[in-house]
Structure 1
Amino acid sequence: MRFLRSRQFWLYIAVFLFAAGLTAGIAALLMNIQTRKMEAVQYPLKVVEIAQDELDPAVWGQNFPVQYDSFRRTEEDYGSTPYGGSTPYSKLEKYPAMTRLWAGYAFAIDHNEERGHYYALIDQKQTRRVTERDQPGACANCHAAEAPQLIEEMGWEAFNRTPYKELQDQLHGGSTCADCHNPDTMALRITRPGFLNAMERRGIDVSQATRQEMRTYVCAQCHVEYYFQGDNKLLTFPWDNGTSIDQIEQYYVDTGFRDWKHAETGGGMIK
């Protein structure tokens, strides 16, 4: 009898502990859910007010630390990968035939593996394609954080045709949060006229884009085929016929545009 009572006692203890643990677990879960709901209402937790034209990623990082940490990782050199990597090796040294393929074009004197967004302006200012050749301000459209502000001040045509060397003292930051994000909510936004002009010519209203489309659009502001049109060197995306390779090629056939004349063959070339 004493043995049975002892077993019942420990059974009661076990049931009590299990119930207490279950209650504590449910309470913790409910508190976590409530906390996440509050975070969702308060997101982002504003430490500072960020202006619409704030270009310093570190300022954005005070309100968006996770995203800022991701941006800072583009500064790291993690070596080469099958897709390029972050080591700025010379492609001309690795693939000597490219010097001849690019003959007569600035890429024949300097063509390095591109690095992350942090280096967008740093690498551009250092390349011999800029230091030894005259380039238009259009080159800064996607390499300089100041581009949208300068375009607003100078006008689209004036910004593009102004020599790069005349603009470079006003260019201080490379890719930045403001290029693609709203400072209040981190929502995606478009800031580059070249993309907007191309979409307008195609009859596409960017303001009606879905979130998934915007994830493509913000990257397509810069990571696309482009050329400098006319004497004003207007940054232009050759998308009038569509965005496939064949449609872009047909655009160049229709317009007769060529990036340069090959130094050996004299043939018109598209980069």
Structure 2
Amino acid sequence: MSSRRLLVALMAMALAVLAGCSEPSEPMTPTYKTKLSAEEMKNSAFKAEFPLQYETYLRNNESQIMTEYGGSVPYNKNDNVNPLPEGYKHAQPYLKNLWLGYPFSYEYRAARGHTYAVKDILHIDRLNNYSEKAGLPSTCWNCKTPKMMEWVKENGDDFWAKDFHEFRQKLDVDDHTIGCANCHEPQTMELRLYSEPLKDYLKSQNKEFKNLSRNEKRALVCGQCHVEYYFQDKEFGAAKKPVFPWANGFDPEDMFEYYKTHGNTTTKGFEGNFVDWVHPVSKTPMLKAQHPEYETWINGVHGSAGVTCADCHMSYVRLDGKKKMSTHHWTSPLKDPDLRACRQCHTDKTPDYLRQRVLFTQNKVWEQLMVAQDISVKAHEAIRMAAEYTGPKPADYDDLMIEARQMCRKGQFFWDLVSAENSVGFHNPTKALNTLAQSQQYSQKAVDVAIRAAAFTTAKDLDGDIKKIVPPILKHSRELQMDPAHMATHKWFKYIPLLPKAPRVWDGQTRLIPPPAPAAAPAS
């Protein structure tokens, strides 16, 4: 071959290589054909087919490892007084105050992990285990078990409004907790959705899960549960069915505006709003945020760059000398001393540098979260004082009280969106800090307007440290609410009823007292 021909051939090869580098193809995912039934839901059934993945999945049983701001120990998230496992230094002391009158005020613990989802919900005090009725609908099973697919198939949309207790003995606490079948088709192991509310959302957007990119699928499989949601009022469809409030967008203002038009309340000034409960102290119609990881991540620096949940929380590992695979130990990358998940991309940074950057963000967000929490408590107290004010009132008193409650509702919801999100702001630092700044402004506006409604007579009593004006409620539960002595320990308790003494009916899946006898048939 002449030198000229050789040069042309080499150039052609170089161009081919450059073309290949400039247009990378999406990596091909493995294909499988298992021996499992298409209806398989037991986690243990997947062990024989995928022993290495199952081995990493069992690591979710670890429940004693902490990071600086979280971890797996199920401490009370309002207790910053007692040490682990009862409390923790980075707890939020006003949670029981802010959720008073709502089941979250009875018990709210740090999650131990996906493998404990069924065990923990069966024992949580948010469910009324002292009654034949749980006080919460079957919707609460939605993010706890793949059995949802079976139950919805059997019951249709009637499932959601059924009582939670009806299903507590119809599953295995280990084999039917969150696991393989929540994310994978058992026969092919392709990613799938089991979540009815996410299916509904995609349908509303004229999208089909099977047509989405691999990256979108990897994020949405986690986004089945790590989202904000609410239980729909019957006027809008199936009663208590979970719905994602994303029609207007994923930001706090988008969701707050959505809730203004998707409820059935008739309270003056809140007509048509969706309301989770009415705070008994301020009489404010409230929203309870869930855990909006997906909405927080989606337009943050990682979400915008196409880095998905699985990239960080299911990083690649090698076991037994085999080819790399995604770990199924779903946990914080910060638990790994080497921060291997982060260093898949940040190859030029040391683990110590990366850890300090995460903590820098979390420290700043936590500081503002505590400020927003305090002002939200002050808003409820200011409205309470204004509602009980008996002196001469401004001509626009009623309008001022509505405005104060609207700002209180909005301020607490914005605080709660960051409080309930499980990254302490790291999934989207800009959004987290902006949301908390807005929360503080709305809650302070509630305080200011309530003071005006009381003809400025309450300003002096509200001046100063809120923790002295309204102490945090450290302990409160359903059983304690049956005790008159406990109910005399905090001035806000007079706004909730003393519960009648009642024996405990349920302990996990065990009934402690016999069920009531069936009603006698009417005489013919």
Same fold (TM over 0.5): yes
2:218 counterpart residue number: 215
User: Aligned partners of 2:211 and 2:250: how far apart in 1?
Assistant: 19
User: Aligned partners of 1:226 and 1:57: how far apart in 2?
Assistant: 26
Query: How much does 1:199 deviate?
Result: 1.7
Give the partner amino acid of 2:128.
Answer: T
User: Aligned partners of 1:43 and 1:247: how far apart in 2?
Assistant: 39
User: Aligned partners of 2:43 and 2:251: how far apart in 1?
Assistant: 34
Tell me: CA distance 1:174–1:83, structure 2 relative to 1, closer, same or farther (3 Å).
farther
Give the partner amino acid of 1:98.
Answer: L
Deviations 1:203-238 (A, max 9, x none): 322221111000011111111000001142111111
Q: Is the 8 A contact 1:92 1:110 kept in 2?
A: no
- Choose the corresponding residue for 1:247, options 246, 254, 272: 254
- Whether 1:76 and 2:62 are equivalent positions in the alignment is yes
Give the partner amino acid of 2:275.
Answer: R
Kindly report which structure 2 residues correspond to 1:1-271, keeping only aligned pairs within 5 A, or say none.
Answer: 44=32, 49-94=35-80, 95-132=92-129, 133-155=134-156, 157-172=157-172, 173-231=176-234, 232-255=239-262, 256-271=273-288
Query: How much does 1:45 deviate?
Result: 8.2
Equivalent position SS for 1:124: helix
User: Aligned partners of 1:202 and 1:251: how far apart in 2?
Assistant: 16
Give the partner amino acid of 2:219.
Answer: T
Query: How much does 1:78 deviate?
Result: 3.7
Deviations 1:58-86 (A, max 9, x none): 21011111221121111112422235211
Number of residues of Structure 1 aligned to a counterpart in Structure 2: 229
Equivalent position SS for 2:143: coil
Q: Is the 8 A contact 1:125 1:131 kept in 2?
A: no
User: Aligned partners of 2:277 and 2:58: how far apart in 1?
Assistant: 37
Q: Once superposed, what is the RMSD of the aligned Cα atoms?
A: 2.0
Query: Identity over the aligned pairs, expressed in percent?
Result: 32
Equivalent position SS for 1:246: helix
User: Aligned partners of 1:244 and 1:82: how far apart in 2?
Assistant: 27
Deviations 1:3-45 (A, max 9, x none): xxxxxxxxxxxxxxxxxxxxxxxxxxxxxxxxxxxxx9x9658
Query: How much does 1:258 deviate?
Result: 1.5
Give the partner amino acid of 1:161.
Answer: A
Q: Is the 8 A contact 2:245 2:255 kept in 1?
A: yes
Q: Is the 8 A contact 1:45 1:63 kept in 2?
A: no
Tell me: CA distance 1:197–1:45, structure 2 relative to 1, closer, same or farther (3 Å).
closer
Q: Deviating runs (4+, > 3 A) in structure 1? A: 42-46
User: Aligned partners of 2:58 and 2:69: how far apart in 1?
Assistant: 20
Structure with bigger helix share is: 1
- Greater CA drift, 182-191 or 234-243: 182-191
Structure 2's unaligned 5+ residue stretches are: 1-27, 81-91, 263-272, 289-524
User: Aligned partners of 1:112 and 1:205: how far apart in 2?
Assistant: 36
Give the partner amino acid of 2:168.
Answer: Q
Q: Is the 8 A contact 2:33 2:187 kept in 1?
A: no
Equivalent position SS for 1:135: coil
Query: How much does 1:186 deviate?
Result: 2.1
Tell me: CA distance 1:129–1:184, structure 2 relative to 1, closer, same or farther (3 Å).
same
Q: Is the 8 A contact 1:78 1:87 kept in 2?
A: yes
Equivalent position SS for 1:91: coil
User: Aligned partners of 1:55 and 1:234: how far apart in 2?
Assistant: 22
Structure 1's unaligned 5+ residue stretches are: 1-39
User: Aligned partners of 1:203 and 1:79: how far apart in 2?
Assistant: 42
- Greater CA drift, 238-247 or 142-151: 238-247
Equivalent position SS for 2:75: coil
Query: How much does 1:201 deviate?
Result: 1.7
User: Aligned partners of 2:196 and 2:38: how far apart in 1?
Assistant: 17
Query: How much does 1:268 deviate?
Result: 1.1
User: Aligned partners of 2:68 and 2:253: how far apart in 1?
Assistant: 26
Equivalent position SS for 2:79: helix
Query: How much does 1:51 deviate?
Result: 1.0
Query: How much does 1:198 deviate?
Result: 1.5
**TM-score by structure 2 length?**
0.42
Q: Is the 8 A contact 2:229 2:245 kept in 1?
A: yes
Tell me: CA distance 1:202–1:80, structure 2 relative to 1, closer, same or farther (3 Å).
same
User: Aligned partners of 1:124 and 1:83: how far apart in 2?
Assistant: 23
User: Aligned partners of 1:44 and 1:240: how far apart in 2?
Assistant: 36
User: Aligned partners of 1:159 and 1:217: how far apart in 2?
Assistant: 24
User: Aligned partners of 1:219 and 1:208: how far apart in 2?
Assistant: 17
Deviations 1:141-193 (A, max 9, x none): 111221111100110x2110110011212132210201111223322111111
Which has the higher Rg, Structure 1 or Structure 2?
1
User: Aligned partners of 1:199 and 1:169: how far apart in 2?
Assistant: 32
Q: Is the 8 A contact 1:44 1:64 kept in 2?
A: no
